[in-house]
């Protein structure tokens, strides 16, 4: 595939190095061309088809009067033709707009130049026919990409994506498939990887959190029953529940070594007993919060069950929750504390209480 698009890839590389030398001036010139700006909380515009949804974001940002120090804060710059020519993304960590995307609109062509600070990160040259993007050729520091857009009745059906690192001898191919409801509104984006593994990049389907709790509880019960039936080692000292919604991952691990007073459960060595799926789709902050609470409800119900009680426990036994790398989540989150109230296996009291 890369041989077929060799000349276009060479052009993208040449453009990359051309802009690499003058990104600060390019940014300044782009800002000077702007006739108005708009600040939003969340993404509000797609310049290429579903570019925000492809990264799991909803395009429903609200216009706000002034910038806010949140990662969701976006600043758009418009030219005289009302084209978006610059997009700036706030970094809450740096407390300033840091990641930027410049859009150069030409006849039947759109150049997309992505900056980190004022340094170029990547460039894409998009070919347009009748205003539709049909192809995007990309060059970045570490690799190149080819995106081929396929439509049916003017509706995007799929994007075939080829990626290759500069040092690699082979390419990776994946496909993003776009699915719509009966009213032709985007419903979900499914990515098929080169190994045929499917990932949901975006979905408008509502999450049934009650069903999630019930499913996790059932799967926990089944997995631990199987574990207990084959377990012949020492008594369990700590059971750790780890919740990582953004990675669609929920797993249970156990520590069997002797309880050491100078260590806390976060310092122990754990062996993963089972791993369960959460929700295979990108989540916004509120959805992630609710997925975590649904998981904790399942943990609470399960740890009060006869199956959990039958786990061979050491005299000094406890359970704990990890939220990504955050230790003792049962002590850090008030909603989690309420759910686990009076649960005999968790210590929900904060160290400063």
56-113: pLDDT as tens digits:
899 999 999 999 999 999 999 999 999 999 999 999 999 999 999 999 999 999 999 9
pLDDT, residue 347, reads 87
Query: 260 pLDDT band (50/70/90 cuts)?
Result: low
Give the pLDDT confidence score for residue 146 in this predicted structure: 97
Whole-angstrom Cα distance, residue 118 to residue 23? 6
DSSP one-letter code for 258:
P
171 burial via Cβ count (<10 Å: 0-12, 13-18, 19+): middle
The pTM (predicted TM-score) of the whole model is: 0.70
Average pLDDT over the chain, rounded to an integer: 92
**Are the CB atoms for 245 and 167 separated by under 8 Å?**
no
Report the chain's C-alpha Rg in angstroms.
25
Query: Which domains are assigned to the chain?
Result: 6-203 (2.40.160), 209-339 (no CATH)
The confidence score (pLDDT) of residue 265 equals: 59
| Per-residue confidence (pLDDT) for residue 266, from 0 to 100 | 62
User: CB of 296 within 8 A of CB of 321?
Assistant: yes
The answer to whether residue 268 scores a pLDDT higher than 90 is: no
pLDDT in tens, 208-245: 999 999 999 999 999 999 988 888 877 888 899 999 99
Least trusted range by pLDDT, from 48-57, 250-259, 341-350: 250-259
């Amino acid at each position: 595939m890369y041989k077929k698009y060799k000349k276009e890839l060479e052009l993208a590389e040449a453009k990359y190095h051309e802009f690499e030398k003058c990104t600060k001036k390019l940014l300044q010139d782009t800002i000077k061309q702007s006739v108005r700006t708009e600040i939003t909380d969340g993404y509000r515009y797609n310049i290429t088809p579903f570019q925000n949804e492809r990264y799991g974001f909803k395009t429903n940002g609200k216009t706000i009067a002034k910038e806010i120090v949140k990662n969701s804060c976006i600043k758009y710059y418009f030219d005289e033709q009302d084209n978006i020519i610059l997009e700036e993304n706030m970094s809450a960590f740096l407390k300033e707009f840091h990641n930027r995307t410049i859009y150069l609109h030409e006849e039947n062509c759109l150049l997309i130049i992505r900056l980190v600070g004022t340094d170029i990160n990547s460039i894409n040259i998009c070919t347009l026919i009748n205003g539709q993007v049909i192809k995007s050729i990309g060059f970045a520091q570490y690799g190149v990409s080819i995106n081929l857009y396929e439509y049916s009745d003017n509706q995007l059906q799929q994007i075939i994506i080829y990626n290759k690192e500069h040092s690699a001898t082979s390419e990776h191919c994946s496909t993003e498939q776009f699915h719509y409801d009966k009213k032709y509104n985007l419903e979900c984006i499914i990515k098929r990887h080169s190994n045929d593994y499917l990932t949901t990049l975006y979905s408008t389907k509502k999450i049934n959190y009650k069903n999630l709790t019930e499913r996790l509880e059932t799967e926990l019960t089944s997995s631990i029953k199987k574990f207990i039936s084959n377990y012949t080692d020492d008594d369990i000292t700590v059971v750790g529940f780890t919740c990582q919604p953004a990675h669609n991952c929920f797993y249970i691990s156990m520590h069997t070594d002797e309880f050491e007073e100078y260590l806390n459960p976060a310092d122990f060595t754990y062996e993963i007993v089972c791993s369960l799926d959460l929700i295979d789709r990108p989540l916004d902050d509120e959805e992630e919060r609710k997925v975590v609470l649904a998981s904790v409800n399942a943990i609470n119900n399960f740890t009060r069950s006869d199956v959990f009680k039958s786990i061979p426990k050491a005299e000094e036994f406890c359970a704990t929750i990890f939220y990504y790398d955050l230790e003792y989540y049962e002590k850090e989150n008030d909603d989690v504390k309420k759910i686990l109230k009076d649960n005999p296996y968790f210590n929900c009291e904060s160290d400063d209480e």
